[in-house]
Amino acid sequence: MNESICSWDSENTSRISANDQLNDSNLEEWQNIQYPTYNKNYLENIRATTERGVPKLYSLFSDKDLVTSSDEEDGCRSRNRLGKFRPDKLSTRRFLTDLQVYTLNERTTERFLDKCYNLISELKSMDKKNTSIKRFRKKLFAFYSEIDKLMKTDKDFWVGDEENVSKVIECVERYVLTRLFCQLFTLSISEFNDEDCKFYHKCHTLKWIEPHHLRCPLRMDNEDVVCQIRKATSTLQRIINKKNPFEMMNCALRAVKFCEKALLASGFEVVCADDLVTVMIYVVLQASPLHVRSTEEFLLNFALPCRIERGQEAYCFATLVSCIK
């Protein structure tokens, strides 16, 4: 960084110079000591999330239907299909609730679940070691296209208009990727773990930076500003706990919103992009989020294009990525 952007003192400059001379062995040592290295239980540990106000009973199915899993106990076809999906899972219950919004009947909902189950089973049976991310992506997007075509040609699946079709496909994407998160995110980690480690290391070496070093117009003597920055930092750290693009993008959106509130609390009437970017850079350094590169690639490869190309969430995600770059 040059003096036109940041004002460094001689001591800090020497610290940066020393850290920039790290070799591979030093980086490996940093990875083993500082970085929470991936292990087989890591993704299993982050799967658990807090259940947030999801209805327990549904109009389409009784409570008994939701937990039935065998044909022998009852010959009802819908119960057998739902049993495959273990609807006691939070993600499945949310998916059922989402489909009910579009007034899909029981038979249609059952067919949706059946198609999703077949895709999930097929992708889970694929050999991760010999299968590339591109192949998983190709199968996922072929499935989304199949659902889109089915909803436009089959009257049982028609939900009123094109906008509702897109929303149902987003619900399908959210559910399928939640169920496949461990498998797909592991692929991203295995490919980009080295870049994750380097980024995490760089953030820690620069964690001493204060807002004035970045010419960031934050009034850190204001308690409200400090509170908003802390919220943005903790929100950004929790992005690794999200299990689908919808939740990840919303997490990025909330972090940017907290940064905007920090600028407003600092006396700004209007927040401009340049000021927002400097605040986001400071928040990223303080948060040192895990698996940043892997998360970015997970979104770029498996999220629907509409999520990363349009809307407020897409803008906030692009802002976050530019800060990380």
Q: What is the mean pLDDT of residues 250-255?
A: 88
**Of 116, 120, 248, which is closest to residue 169 (Cα–Cα)?**
116
The helix, strand and coil proportions of the chain, stated in percent and rounded to the nearest 5, come to 70, 0, 30
Can you tell me whether residue 186 is helix, strand or coil?
A: helix
Residue 39 — pLDDT band, cuts 50, 70, 90?
very low
Give the pLDDT confidence of 225-242 residue by residue, as tens digits.
889 999 999 988 888 888
Which domains can be identified in the chain, with CATH numbers? 24-42+193-324 (1.20.1050.80), 54-179 (no CATH)
Whether 178 and 244 have beta carbons less than 8 Å apart is answered as: yes
Q: Is the pLDDT of residue 197 over 80?
A: yes
Residue 135: predicted pLDDT? 86
Token pair, residue 200, equals: 């995490």
Among 103-112, 169-178, 292-301, name the one with the lowest average pLDDT.
Answer: 103-112
Percent of the chain with pLDDT over 90: 1
**CA Rg, the chain, in Å?**
23
Give the pLDDT confidence of 206-228 residue by residue, as tens digits.
888 888 888 888 888 888 888 99
- The residue among 88 and 216 whose pLDDT is bigger is 216
d(CA 76, CA 98): 23
Percent of the chain with pLDDT over 70: 69
Look-up of token digits 């809307």: 311
Whether 233 and 283 have beta carbons less than 8 Å apart is answered as: yes
Token pair, residue 47, equals: 């799967």
- The residue among 46 and 233 whose pLDDT is bigger is 233
3-state SS track over 197-263: HHHHHHHHHCCCCCHHHHCCCCCCCCHHHHHHHHHHHHHHHHHHHCCCHHHHHHHHHHHHHHHHHHH
Residue 1 — pLDDT band, cuts 50, 70, 90?
very low
Residue 89 — pLDDT band, cuts 50, 70, 90?
low
d(CA 115, CA 113): 5
Residue 317 — pLDDT band, cuts 50, 70, 90?
confident
Using alpha carbons only, what angle is made at residue 300 by residues 296 and 305, rounded to the nearest 5 degrees? Answer: 140
Whether 321 and 296 have beta carbons less than 8 Å apart is answered as: yes
- The residue among 138 and 311 whose pLDDT is bigger is 138
Token pair, residue 100, equals: 């009910």
Give the pLDDT confidence of 92-149 residue by residue, as tens digits.
777 777 777 765 667 777 777 888 888 888 888 887 666 788 888 888 999 988 888 8
Amino acid letter at 116?
Answer: C
d(CA 82, CA 60): 12
- The residue among 73 and 235 whose pLDDT is bigger is 235
- The residue among 121 and 17 whose pLDDT is bigger is 121
Token pair, residue 265, equals: 């609390």
